[in-house]
Structure 1
Amino acid sequence: MRMKTLVTALLIFLASLAGAQQRMLVSKGSVHFTSNAPLEVIDASSNALKGILEMPTRKFAFTAAIKSFKGFNSSLQQQHFNENYLESDRYPKAVFKGKIIEKIDFTQDGTYKVRAKGKLSIHGLEQIRIFKVNLKIIEGVVHFDAKFKVPLSDHDISIPQIVHQKIATEIDVAIQGLFEAPQQ
């Protein structure tokens, strides 16, 4: 009986290793946004991007804590971003869950221009998005970068009339980083 338990534990362990080889995690990643309004440009970034890629299915997910964004033009602007616009205590994360549309052989080094389709959740509202992604695979590491626009109205983020000329209604977002196999 003891041998059967040992064999079962070994099989479970080997299965988990095989599953781990099918997944990659973000080892380094960032999200940057720009609000380019008539009277003011606001830039902020987060280096706290987390993510996972399942290679066989091409499914992936990213998340970034709203409070991790730094930059802004003042600390008061950052406070308003968190408290008034993104309500980061109530909605602490931005999440994108999706799938790479085109088939990719992640074992082949090269540069690939693909599209990602999925659901972007910001401020408690999900919207389906499709955007272009640049992938560069070098020795098993997947480098990614993408740029897309996010209309504030799609996520029920309203701008008070008093600052209407200082905050853009559509935000430019850039995401980049590396997917690598998890360390054993």
Structure 2
Amino acid sequence: MSLWLTTLAGLPAQDQVVFYTDQGTIAFASDAPLELIEARSRQMQGLINPAEGTFAFAVPINTFEGFNSPLQQEHFNENYLESETYPRATFRGKIIESVDFAQPGTRAVRAKGILTVHGVEQERIIGARLTMTEDVCRIEASFQVLLQDHRISIPKVVKQKIAEEITVDVQAELRPRTGRI
């Protein structure tokens, strides 16, 4: 398991059960007056420590695919998100509600933490749907990100093609893992 996940979640290095994924999906949509841009990554990593109610998720910026053109993807990585300088977006923090992870069912939860995009940290509370089954913790969330909150500048020449507010959707199935983290 990646060291950054342990660090982000603030977990002690000891044997314990966590829920983990390295194949979560995160998608975004920019619905501007002149263009709809959608992309997704299936390389989101994440973990939830049920004992502490803490979590950490991260996605490499350069893994997003599905843009309208290769040039658009290049501009996304080089000009807007600057993925060489800021290689990951992360969200880490604590689940506000007390959750019994041993109890099957679906529940609404709120995750309070630090969302870091483009090197800029923002404290956020993001609502999510958490579904527990015998061996899977499934999460789904949808939220908005304002480009200005993360100092992402859009040139005037493409202002009508890129929305100022981006919709982000997250889906992941996390499986229990026991071990030294």
TM-score normalized by structure 2? 0.89
Q: Which structure 2 residues correspond to residues 43-58 of structure 1 after superposition, within 5 A?
A: 43-58=38-53
Q: SS at 1:38's partner residue?
A: coil
2:16 partner amino acid: A
Aligned-pair distance for 1:28?
Answer: 3.3
**Count of aligned pairs between the two proteins:** 167
Which one has the bigger strand percentage? 2
Which one of 12, 16, 22 corresponds to residue 20 of structure 1? 16
Q: SS at 1:154's partner residue?
A: helix
Aligned-pair distance for 1:27?
Answer: 5.0
Which one of 65, 68, 86 corresponds to residue 73 of structure 1? 68
Aligned-pair distance for 1:179?
Answer: 1.2
Aligned-pair distance for 1:131?
Answer: 1.4
Gaps of 5+ in 2: 1-12
Cα distance in 2, alignment partners of residues 156 and 125 from structure 1: 7
Map of 2:93 onto structure 1: 98
Aligned-pair distance for 1:56?
Answer: 1.0
Aligned-pair distance for 1:183?
Answer: 6.8
Are the structure 2 counterparts of residues 146 and 80 from structure 1 closer, same or farther at C-alpha, using a change threshold of 3 Å? same
Aligned-pair distance for 1:181?
Answer: 1.2
Cα distance in 2, alignment partners of residues 161 and 116 from structure 1: 35
Which one of 50, 54, 70 corresponds to residue 59 of structure 1? 54
Map of 1:116 onto structure 2: 111
Cα distance in 2, alignment partners of residues 159 and 70 from structure 1: 20
Tell me if structure 2 keeps the 8 A contact 1:109–1:137: yes
Are the structure 2 counterparts of residues 27 and 84 from structure 1 closer, same or farther at C-alpha, using a change threshold of 3 Å? closer
Gaps of 5+ in 1: 1-14
TM-score normalized by structure 1? 0.88
Which one of 156, 159, 168 corresponds to residue 161 of structure 1? 156
Tell me if structure 1 keeps the 8 A contact 2:25–2:41: yes
1:97 partner amino acid: R
Tell me if structure 1 keeps the 8 A contact 2:118–2:151: yes
Cα distance in 1, alignment partners of residues 108 and 121 from structure 2: 25
Which one of 28, 34, 43 corresponds to residue 33 of structure 1? 28
* Pair member with larger Rg: 1
Map of 1:147 onto structure 2: 142
Tell me if structure 1 keeps the 8 A contact 2:27–2:169: yes
Which one has the bigger helix percentage? 1
Identity of aligned residues (%): 49
